[in-house]
Structure 1
Amino acid sequence: MRSVVLLLLGVQLAYAGTHSLKYVYTGVSGVTGFPEFTTVGLVDGVQFMYFDSNEKKAVPKTEWIRLNEGADYWDSETQINIDEHQVFKNNIEVVREWFNQSAGVHTYQHMYGCEWDDQTGATNAFRQLGYDGEDFLSLDFKEMRWISPVQQGFKTVQRWNNNRGYIESDRNYLSTECIEWLQKYVEYGKSSLQRKVSPQVSLLQKSSSSSVACHATGFYPSGVTISWMKNGEEHHEDVDLGELLPNEDGTFQKTSTIRVSPEEWKNNKFSCVVQHQGYSGGGKIRPIEEDSLPIMPIVGVLVAVVLLIAIGVIVFVVYKKKQGFKPVSGSDDGSNSSARPQA
């Protein structure tokens, strides 16, 4: 009887000291039963705040932000996002016209934030915008200039790059204010954000002739490596690595799937290797026989995707619009309204 071997290894990942603050705004048109606009705030990949246009109220999603920020903070976040919703409603329609599209389902997304290494002090930042899942505009933080991969964005790029006040405002927020808020949030949630939770790993297969999925879930922080080995050597052929997905409890999950013929399975030994800094068992090897593989594959992943959409963390790619966005003034809370474009 052939077997599939599962290895869990503990490693100290190089980016263990890097923290991030990220906001994702998503506007959706042409969809019923789903919020037209959502905002998600994440620290180190963990959602700490949420807003949607149905409830019209910014709410905490972690205990550490709930305990450290009061009513004024949440009132300010709520008002910012109500205003942002109106901007996004207009922007989706304008960009749709620029792309000469008919009415229907369209997405308009803006993602921005900063990173800070608590060991070296190094910082970085990003601001990206996208439309219908494709890159539309992005800010080159080192050069402090806007770029666009599509012709529809060229006019906005030129206009924004000529607005030095807008550029300097963005630089100040991303390099200073964003980092200060990130450091504050990390301090708020250090007992939670600095924890290490080992992954739970399963091998899932429908039948002896179908692909095998190596599914790691429940781990924290998010840094994980899933790889396959064939007869003790690294194997990359016919391997699909899935996206990192959040779980409802703040942990993460990820799946790697391998497609191998029954004959190849029979004549070779395959291993799934999962590496994560939370695992401290020192190289545990657990063989899983073919007959013990579950009949239903990756149900948890499918559920997680539904949850992902439900909480508004819709990670397509980010977008922004072209013709005359007007930045509004910055805020005094943890998010930034200084680069929220308006058509």
Structure 2
Amino acid sequence: MLVFQLMFVSLFLLQTTSSGSGRHSLWMLASSMSGSTVFPEFNMVLMLDDIQVGYYDSTMDQVMRVGGGGEKGAELDLGQHGMSLLQEMIFNMRERLNWSKQNFNLTGVVVHQRLVGCEVLDGQPVFIMFRDANNRQEVESFMYNMTHFTVAGSDSWKIWWDVWKRTYAQTLYTNFYVPVCVRFLQNLLDREKNLVMRRVRPRVRVLTKQVVGGARVTCLATDFYPRHINLTLLRDGRPVDEDELTGGSVLPNGNGLYQVRKTLTVDDEELRRKHSYTCAASHLSLDNRMEVSWRAEFSRSHRVPVVSVPVSVLKRYRALHENKEETGASPSQATRKPELDEALVSMIVKDTQPFSIVDDVGFRAFVSKLDPNYVLPTRQVCMGACMKQMSTLLCLTVQHYICFP
């Protein structure tokens, strides 16, 4: 699984700013597996830049289209050459899977994974590549940048590239694989140009949170597209050194948009100086840099976290008290607690809240006002419930990816 995660990281690092005449990429991420598993023998998703546009339906033996909102559509026409390449990949991956089982005496669930794709710049091919992994171990990687090959193979798999094989591969890729990949990429760009060229403005906020001996100041930008953004945290107008910050990785929000946050930990002494902290964001969707500021005040006011509460919780609270006023009775606490626990876990997952929120003084006081009889679950209980819910949501949301328990 680690190697497959690295493949996703490679995909996002290689994908650059989307524009009609800029740099674009097309990727297939595939898995072939054997053993007792709920997943089909072969899975594949098709990505245009960082957007899923298709998936392989093993029951219909077809590549199906995925719309801009993630909805499923009709069959995605790969063309004769595209389908030939897909069938070739399925056969080759199955062969490598069986070879690894026989030669390494592998039992149980065995997975062979592949990342393959190409990239263009202003309509001209830049490179084509693939990476293979088997049961968490990288097997082989290959890149051709139109002039040179870069190859690497695992010694245990006995994969060697001699002069004859390199010459054959260069001829095959130059005259067949590259033209097919580029042509299909361009067709997808024409169809999905409104999606890949869209610009969504970020929402920028400065968040503060109490910690022992001080506070955390977080610069957050969320719900933006494309994924490339310049986020800076300033202290009294001067950029904070990156060595003092944590975070900074751009992460998907699950709705086709992205988020990034950078956090600075400040002690009480620094808070006494009442610095001004500014979160500044530069993005393709913005004409000018967006800035949001917060000034430290050494009092307990800065220590009260702002908590997002789902509307469902407030509605449930209102219905409860309206019922209580009318009947003079309240539902059993034993009946309500699982329901409230579920709502709490849902809030943590949907709003990307930290598990430690259940220990925050302000949040506990707020919940106590809602229901004095409700006992918040511990951080460990929340973590276990959240992991279960996130795994379920992940597999439901990207059910055509490979989801591991």
TM-score normalized with structure 2 length: 0.57
Q: CA RMSD in A?
A: 4.6
CA displacement 1:73-131 (0-9 Å, x = unmatched): 58997787577545434423433565x4743555422122222222x856333222233
TM-score normalized with structure 1 length: 0.66
Aligned to 1:194: 197
Asked whether the equivalents of residues 137 and 146 of structure 1 are also in contact (C-alpha less than 8 Å), the reply is no
Aligned to 2:306: 293
Asked if 1:22 corresponds to 2:27, the answer is: yes
User: What amino acid does structure 1 have at the position aligned with 2:182?
Assistant: I
The one of 114, 118, 133 aligned to 2:118: 114
Higher relative contact order, structure no. (Cα contacts within 8 Å, ≥ 6 residues apart)? 1
Asked whether the equivalents of residues 35 and 52 of structure 1 are also in contact (C-alpha less than 8 Å), the reply is no
Aligned to 1:219: 224
Where in structure 2 are the equivalents of 1:13-162 lying within 5 Å?
16=19, 17-28=22-33, 32-53=37-58, 56-62=61-67, 73=78, 84-85=89-90, 87-95=92-100, 100=104, 102-104=106-108, 106-118=110-122, 121=124, 123-142=126-145, 144-145=148-149, 147-148=151-152, 150-153=154-157, 155-158=158-161, 162=165
CA displacement 1:296-343 (0-9 Å, x = unmatched): 767456859826973445699xxxxxxxxxxxxxxxxxxxxxxxxxxx
The one of 134, 158, 172 aligned to 1:169: 172
Instruction: Mark the structure with the bigger radius of gyration.
Output: 2
User: What amino acid does structure 2 have at the position aligned with 1:131?
Assistant: N
Relative distance call for 1:172 and 1:113 in structure 2 (3 A) is farther
Relative distance call for 1:273 and 1:149 in structure 2 (3 A) is farther
CA displacement 1:266-290 (0-9 Å, x = unmatched): 3555544433212346424254965
Aligned to 1:327: none
Relative distance call for 1:146 and 1:180 in structure 2 (3 A) is same
CA displacement 1:130-160 (0-9 Å, x = unmatched): 334454322231354452263225x323269
Percent identity reads 18
The one of 227, 236, 239 aligned to 2:242: 236
CA displacement 1:183-219 (0-9 Å, x = unmatched): 2221222222222111234566775358666554432
Aligned equivalents of 2:34 and 2:220: distance in 1?
33
Aligned equivalents of 1:206 and 1:160: distance in 2?
60
Asked whether the equivalents of residues 202 and 216 of structure 1 are also in contact (C-alpha less than 8 Å), the reply is yes
Aligned equivalents of 2:100 and 2:170: distance in 1?
22
**Structure 1 runs not aligned, ≥5 long:** 1-12, 317-343
Aligned equivalents of 1:213 and 1:69: distance in 2?
43
SS in 2 for 1:169: helix
Aligned equivalents of 2:192 and 2:218: distance in 1?
33
Report how far residue 47 of structure 1 moved: 0.9
Asked whether the equivalents of residues 205 and 297 of structure 1 are also in contact (C-alpha less than 8 Å), the reply is no
Aligned equivalents of 1:290 and 1:87: distance in 2?
58
Asked if 1:180 corresponds to 2:193, the answer is: no
Judge which range, 209-218 or 185-194, deviates more: 209-218
**Structure 2 runs not aligned, ≥5 long:** 1-15, 296-301, 309-346, 353-386
Asked whether the equivalents of residues 118 and 125 of structure 2 are also in contact (C-alpha less than 8 Å), the reply is no
SS in 2 for 1:165: helix
Aligned equivalents of 2:134 and 2:252: distance in 1?
22
SS in 1 for 2:97: helix
Relative distance call for 1:307 and 1:235 in structure 2 (3 A) is farther
Relative distance call for 1:315 and 1:281 in structure 2 (3 A) is farther
CA displacement 1:238-296 (0-9 Å, x = unmatched): 52333543634xx2323335362554773555544433212346424254965343377
Judge which range, 43-52 or 221-230, deviates more: 221-230
Asked whether the equivalents of residues 34 and 111 of structure 2 are also in contact (C-alpha less than 8 Å), the reply is yes
Judge which range, 259-268 or 22-31, deviates more: 259-268
Relative distance call for 1:72 and 1:102 in structure 2 (3 A) is closer
Relative distance call for 1:253 and 1:71 in structure 2 (3 A) is closer
Aligned to 1:306: 394
Judge which range, 68-77 or 229-238, deviates more: 68-77
Between the two proteins, the alignment pairs up a number of residues equal to 299
Asked whether the equivalents of residues 201 and 216 of structure 1 are also in contact (C-alpha less than 8 Å), the reply is yes
Asked whether the equivalents of residues 129 and 137 of structure 1 are also in contact (C-alpha less than 8 Å), the reply is yes
